[in-house]
Amino acid sequence: MCFFMFSSSVVAEEIAANNDDQLSLLLNDINNEYGTNFHILSDSELEYYGIPKTIPQKLSSSELNDLEQYLRYIAEIKMPEFEKETQEALSIMKNVEENVVNKDGLVKNSIMSNNTIVARRAINYATAIAEAYTIKDFYGNTIWGSVVHAACSSNMYQPIWFLAPSPTVQHIDSGRTLLWTGEGDYFSYVNGTQIYLGSGTQHTELYIKSYI
C-alpha cells in the first residue's frame, strides 16, 4: 500500500493555477465583449505596485457566476464613471492658474508656520493625502504654503480600489485650497486574486479651513 503526501505549498499552487485558468477565461470573455483590459496581475505587476502576493481561494461554480455578473457591472457601469471622472480631472488641471502664489507655493514676504498640516479627503475607493505648511496672506488669513508630500492611501483588499503612485498638488483659490490630482489604476480583489481593471485620474480639493 502506498501513501502519497502533498505539501500545502503544492496544493496552494494547484489551486492558484486552477483559479487563474478559470478567471482568465472569464476575464477574456468580458474583455472581448466590452473592450476592457481586465487581467490578473502578474508577479512583476504585483511587485511594481507593491502588492503582497496572496494565495487565492478556490472559486465554486456559483461564485464564478456571481463574479461574472459583478465584472459585467464594473464594465458596464463603473468603467464609464471612471472615464468621466478622468476627463473632469484632466480638464480642471488644464485650466488651473496659480496666479496668486509663486512657483514655490509661497506668498512673497510671508512667514511660514513651524508645523505642517496633513490633509486627508476620501475619493472614490481611496483617500487623498497632502502634507503642507501654512502661511498668512496679505490680509492675515491662513492659507496653504509649501507642499511637503502628497500620497494616495487605499485598502487593497476591497472589491474595488484605486492607487495613484505619484499624485500632484497645486495651489488654487488664492492659496486657500490645494488641488490634489492622482493618475493611477483601479483594481479588484477577488478571493485572494488581484485583478487589474483599468487606469484613471481622480481629483479633490483640500480647503484650508477644513483643517485648522
- Kindly state the average pLDDT of the residues 174-197: 95
Q: What element of type H or E holds 14? A: helix 8-34
pLDDT at position 49 is: 92
Q: Using 50, 70 and 90 to split pLDDT, how confident is the model at 19? A: low
User: What's the pLDDT band for 209 if we cut at 50, 70, 90?
Assistant: very high
Q: Fill in the DSSP letter of residue 75.
A: I
Q: Is the pLDDT of residue 114 over 80?
A: no
Residues written for the chain: 212
Q: 18 Cβ partners below 8 Å, 6+ apart?
A: 58
Query: What is the average per-residue pLDDT within 90-108?
Result: 61
Q: Compute the distance between CA of residue 205 and CA of residue 88 in angstroms, rounded to an integer.
A: 13
DSSP, collapsed to helix, strand or coil, labels residue 114 as: strand
